[in-house]
Structure 1
Amino acid sequence: MEKMINKDVEKQLRQVFGAMKEDITLVLFTQEGECYSCEETKQLLSEVAELNPHISFVEKDIHKNADEASKYNVELTPSFVVLDKEGNYRGVKFNGFPGGHEINSFISALMELSGNASEVSPEIAARIAKIDKPVNIKVFVTLSCPHCPGAVEKAHKLAMLNKNIEGEMVEAQTFYDLSTKFNVSGVPKIIINDTLELVGNQPIEAFLTQIESL
């Protein structure tokens, strides 16, 4: 099978991943039979895991491992979560193939959870810390959308900083029924707790204002 990551990109990723400080685990849920982009996602994650010893990769069948899928609130395939060095789920999830522009949000999540966390202002950190109710943030994207990774990264950052928050990328074309349910006509489209919505790569303050209104 031809490799998905070419030599030039592999060299760049090895350099980026060289800054990793802690172990992370990619847990991919797939299923037998019809599973659009499952093989591509498996191949990409497998190749990425080979680039640095801090990255581990495991594939699980969503039906045979239903309890574990439920633990991470995984209902779609392909879907994967990124676990930290303690094996904890920090609310970082990708539904669909993280290719195209979304490779940026994928790499960002890996670096953040491997000990290279970016900082937010004290004011923003305080607002995030006060969130005490379950919050789910879905960011609908397409792989050709240059503004989508920024929105995904903000959702993931919120999740990493508060255990009550879950941030997930949803590839709109792969999960067409879900996109239709939430009237996704442009991306990025952000859905919070299945009721509130934002459109575009909004600042993190906009996410917080919506969350605080729940």
Structure 2
Amino acid sequence: MLLDDQIKTQLKQYLAMLEGDLVLKVHVGEDETSKNMLELVQTLDDMSPRITIEHAELERTPSFSINRVGEDTGVIFAGLPLGHEFTSLVLALLQVSGRAPKIDESTVKRIQAIKEPMNFETYVSLTCHNCPDVVQALNIMSVLNPNITHTMIEGGAFKSEVEEKEIMAVPAVYRDKDFFEGGRMTLDDILDKLGSTVDAAEFNDKEPFDVLVVGGGPAGASAAVYAARKGVRTGIVAERFGGQVNDTMSIENIIGTKATEGPKFVASLEAHVLEYPVDVMKAQRVKNIEKKQLIEVELENGAVLKSKTVILSTGARYRQLGVKGEQEFKNKGVAYCPHCDGPLFKGKDVAVVGGGNSGVEAAIDLAGIVNHVTLLQNTGELIADTVLQERLRSLPNVTIITNALTSEITGDRTVNGIEYIDAVTKEKHHVALDGVFIQIGLLPNTEFLEGSVQLNERGEIVTDRNGATDIDGVFAAGDCANSAYKQIVISIGAGATAALSAFDYLIRHTEELVEV
């Protein structure tokens, strides 16, 4: 059985929300995936009187398209949209039927302003938690603009295409058969890359905020909620809502929540923020902040936002090795997300660089997929939690090498090995393999603050116990600040502290801020 009873029950509830009739055009063969696809579309047909099935000639076998009656919408699934892509299927059915996607009007206008025909294809793996964001964004664009089509391609069902294109990281997006972009992207990211930008005037015309939060991760979301609950005018500007948490698959240490997944947790953060009158400005990168009469936050699009107080919660990003071959083979064997890209290395040999929790967890996960994992740690012992180390050492297809200083990632067209120097003997070694997953910690996203806010030697924003920086009215919280530990739960608390401190600042400076 392709779908269990619980999933079928949920699916039937969603299909009851269809607003118009749909035609699923199906192209299948005799292979097992084709048989499963027929079962899936037949299940959809059986569950809703609004759905009918037609057999048609499509580019790939097996595949099916979702269409309005008498109109091809350009939304196609090649391979089975199950796993993390099941949500993409459900949303596509609803949106093609006429249910409006949950995006703001300015984004709708940006999509509809595209006049050039564009045919997108996205290669995914069903275990990738970043892929659905890209698939759903491009599906929305196809639904709203007749000049755009999009095909989700499940890499496991089309291995020959994946190998021919040498795809070693997902999502991998192609536009008109040429590589467009790889990795997680939001709808706004795609539109920016296509040159359909937001008019800076939309930001310049905004009234000054009482509290403006820069960054949309756990710290930023917490700060926005706490500020909004005080009844002050609150805004949040973020390049990517959720930040680094979007790339975290398993979260098991948020007190009161036994287990969740990064994207799911981010969705709950955003939903909580939107419960309050917070002006959320996504897909915007901050270029500079400057204290004048008010605090001015300059965006890369040239717009300037003004606020009485600012909370910096820009988070952090994956730290890179900085060795030869890392950039050359990025997405060609060098990867940073084992959940997203691990399935592409099934049966192959890979390395994980990093012996902390993230590195050991990655090695454990990959060991269940690949042929062999070599974990390299640059110190004499692993630094991950004991329970994780014990699990790792119990796996038969894992080799742990300590005192290993990675010196180069080697390859031709794709990665073929990794070189390291033994920190004790100084001998150079080469390990033949097909992929390298880098898990060596994070770097704070604070480069734009150099020269304006005090940073420590690690690039973290220096704050006091209240989250205050050396600029009057500017606070900081989360992984971008000098907190003792980098944990989601700590960032949430730090965001709340910064918001309460900002509110206290507003109260204490009411008279001078009113004059401004």
Q: Secondary structure at the match of 1:212?
A: coil
The residue that corresponds to 1:65 in the other structure is none
Query: Which SS does the other structure have where 2:157 is aligned?
Result: coil
Matched, 1:58 2:54: yes
Runs of 5+ unmatched residues, structure 1: 61-68
Matched, 1:198 2:181: yes
Deviation at 1:58? 2.7
Contact 2:133–2:186 (Cα < 8 Å) also in 1: no
The separation in 1 between residues aligned to 2:61 and 2:23, in whole angstroms, is 18
Distance 1:168 1:178, change over 3 A: same
Structure 2 residue 120 is matched with structure 1 residue 137: yes
Q: Secondary structure at the match of 1:11?
A: helix
**Amino acid aligned to 1:117:** A
2:4 aligned residue (3, 6, 28)? 6
C-alpha spacing 1:89/1:120, structure 2 compared with 1 (3 Å): same
Give 3-state SS (helix, strand or coil) of 1:80's partner.
strand
Which residue in 2 is equivalent to 1:108?
A: 91
**1:173 alignment partner, SS class:** helix
Q: Give the distance between the partners of 1:4 and 1:185, measured in 2 at CA.
A: 28
Quote how far apart the aligned CAs of 1:161 are. Answer: 1.1
Q: Post-superposition shift, 1:121?
A: 2.4
Give deviations 1:176-201, integer Å, cap 9, x for gaps.
22223433111111112222422222
Amino acid at match of 2:125: T
Match of 1:126 in 2: 109
TM-score, length-normalised on structure 1? Answer: 0.84
1:196/1:126 CA distance change after superposition, 3 Å:
farther
Match of 1:66 in 2: none
1:158 aligned partner, one-letter code:
M
Q: Is the 8 A contact 2:84 2:132 kept in 1?
A: yes
Please name the residue that 2:170 is paired with: 187
Q: What is the CA distance between 1:36 and its match in structure 2?
A: 5.1
Letter in 1 for 2:17: A
- Structure 1 residues 7-48: Cα deviation after superposition (integer angstroms, max 9, x where no partner): 2222111112111121111111013x5x45100111111112
1:54 and 1:197 mapped to 2: Cα distance? 35
Corresponding position of 1:44? 40
Question: What's 1:158 paired with?
Answer: 141
Q: Distance in 2 between matches of 1:47 and 1:90?
A: 21
* Secondary structure of 1:106's aligned partner: helix
C-alpha distance in 2 between matches for 1:94 and 1:40: 13
Q: Give identity over the alignment, percent.
A: 26
Distance across 2 between alignment mates of 1:78 and 1:95:
6
2:194 aligns to what SS in structure 1?
helix
Q: d(CA) in 2 for partners of 1:19 and 1:44?
A: 19
Matched residues, number: 196
Of 69, 82, 87, 2:66 maps to 82
For the pair shown, the structure with the greater C-alpha radius of gyration is 2
Q: CA deviation at 1:4?
A: 2.2
Where 2:81 maps in the other structure, the secondary structure is coil
Of Structure 1 and Structure 2, the greater helix share is in: 1
Specify the SS of the correspondent of 1:4.
coil
Deviation at 1:124, TM superposition (A): 1.9
- Could you say what secondary structure the match of 1:94 adopts? strand
Deviations 1:107-155 (A, max 9, x none): 1100111221214323322222221111011111111212212211111
**Which structure is higher in RCO with an 8 Å CA cutoff and minimum separation 6?**
1
CA distance in 2, matches of 1:123, 1:116: 18
